Structure 1
Amino acid sequence: MTAVRATTALGLAAGYAADAAFGDPRRGHPVAGFGRAAGALERLVWRDRRDVGVVFTALCVSTVAVAARCTDRALRSTPAGAALFTAGAAWTVLGGASLVREARTIGEALESGDLAAARERLPYLCGRDPRELTEQQIARAVVESVAENTADAVVNALVWGAAAGAPGLLAFRAVNTLDAMVGHRSPRYLRFGWASARLDDVAGWPGARLTALLTVAAAGRGRRRGAWRVWRADAAGHPSP
């Protein structure tokens, strides 16, 4: 293992540990700052055209990637600084602890029969309107959100971090954030958000497949074959929203 790879691995491990111990930063979250900046740019350049959306997406992602790359290269001569930068990027990008906390909170409310509390908490986990959802529908929303966000906020982030270090981590989170902001099939974003949505599909492909394989592996002895069959049978039935 080269020194750069070792530094990246150490930083990823430290960032994962920080997320597990502390969850997301409570104030001044860099992803929120990126979202505000991207939102301001969107308001400035928005047009109901694909080509404008392509430029918007490319500008947002490339700015993050180039800044992260320059910082990473500047710190390469000091392994401790490079590891800390990667750790900070990983802590910023990963969302596993917050995902587990919110899912458990809703699960505990459902187990105690407190449907009102579960409905109140669901928007912290996913974007569905909980007002008319039944207990079973809320449970399904939680399971689906945990599955999707495990792929995006944990596995995919680590895949891109392993492949490209801190720049990979931060560029992937920029892509994922843009998809959440503008990658919708709505009148406003059907054309403008097309590039962000398609880029997120491409960036998310490896981590999604790895997440499925890890889910099969975690199914336990005697259940892996069934989990594999469900994945192969149902995967195509869940198109991108």
Structure 2
Amino acid sequence: MTRTDRYTAAGMALGVAVDALVGDPRKGHPVAVFGTRAAALEERIYADSRTRGVLFTALCVGAVTGIGVVAERLTRHRPVARTAVTAAATWAVLGGTTLGREGAHMAASLESGDLPAARVRLPHLCGRDPSRLDAPELARATVESIAENTSDAVVAPLFWGAVAGVPGLLGYRAVNTLDAMVGHRSARHERFGWASARLDDAANLVPARLTGLLAAALAPVAGGSPRRALAALRRDGHRHPSPNSGRCEAAFAGALGVRLGGVNDYGGRLEERPELGDGPRPAVPDIRRAVRLARAVSFAAAALAVAARMTMRCRNREKNTSPDIR
């Protein structure tokens, strides 16, 4: 292990702590700034072709990852700066605290019987049309979103931070943001968004399965059974249209003892999702249980990521070319 790895690990731990304390900023979030720039680039180079989509994805992800590479090079021999840069990057890409807060807000609205407020809140969590959803369907949408986004917003960025430091943190968030912007199937993005969607699938392949395993192991936090959660993960995780989301949702369904899946309305575009888990449909109290489980998974993932970085062996290039930080 190099001392550089130690400072990267310390920065990741600090970034997790900052996110836990303050969450996302209300204005000027770095991810939102990236999204604005990416949208402007899309308008300039868009064409209904996979080739243009590949170019768009490469430019966006390459630019952000390049910034991470430069940041690491500039702080290679500056431990305080390396810790600070890694902490800032980690905080910028994590969304676990905000995810938990949105889940808690949704639970509070439904517990008070305020369906209009809950419907207004749902777009903060997912892209479904909330206008005709009742309390059970709003609860299902919330639980499913919490399960999926625990991987996307917490486990996956921490995984790539452990693997590749600041470039991994920033690069993953760029990939995931592009998938949210253009990776969905629509007339405009069917071809153009293909590269972003496939790259996001690849980037989440390991993190989604890690999320599922952590959710199963930590099921008692939500009053569930690890054995039942693992059984649901094994039996149902592959049934989802997404190669990754189903692993997270199935594990959460088993851990909570509920049954997820059904017909989802995305602004008039209906999608029928397979059932995951074998319990009753989620009820309003299950939202707070899902939030507790998501937080436990998030902190476990953070501990694993920091530990992995702390124990990482020297990369050959750094070992051969970089003196130890004194």
Percent identical pairs in the alignment equals: 56
Distance in 1 between residues matched to 2:39 and 2:54, nearest whole Å: 15
CA deviations on 1:80-124 (whole Å, 9 max, x unpaired) are: 101100000000000011000010010111122221211111111
Distance in 1 between residues matched to 2:162 and 2:224, nearest whole Å: 32
CA deviations on 1:145-180 (whole Å, 9 max, x unpaired) are: 101110010000100011111110000000000000
| Alignment of structure 1 residues 89-238 onto 2, 5 Å | 89-220=89-220, 223-238=225-240
Q: 1:114 to 1:83 in 2, by over 3 A?
A: same
The gaps in structure 2 that reach 5 residues or longer are 243-270, 272-326
Distance in 2 between residues matched to 1:64 and 1:147, nearest whole Å: 27
TM-score (norm. length: structure 1): 0.97
Q: CA RMSD in A?
A: 1.3
CA deviations on 1:56-93 (whole Å, 9 max, x unpaired) are: 10111011111210111111110110110000000000
Q: Is the 8 A contact 1:47 1:192 kept in 2?
A: yes
Distance in 1 between residues matched to 2:108 and 2:77, nearest whole Å: 48
Residue 201 of structure 1: how far off its partner (Å) = 0.3
Residue 27 of structure 1: how far off its partner (Å) = 2.4
Q: 1:222 to 1:43 in 2, by over 3 A?
A: closer
Q: How many residues align?
A: 241
Which has the larger Rg?
Answer: 2
Residue 37 of structure 1 aligns with an amino acid whose one-letter code is R
Q: 1:176 to 1:80 in 2, by over 3 A?
A: same
Q: Is the 8 A contact 1:157 1:169 kept in 2?
A: yes
The gaps in structure 1 that reach 5 residues or longer are none
Distance in 1 between residues matched to 2:148 and 2:227, nearest whole Å: 22
Question: Which is strand-richer, 1 or 2?
Answer: 2
Question: Which is helix-richer, 1 or 2?
Answer: 1
Q: Is the 8 A contact 1:25 1:92 kept in 2?
A: no
TM-score (norm. length: structure 2): 0.72
> In the alignment, what sits opposite 2:6?
6
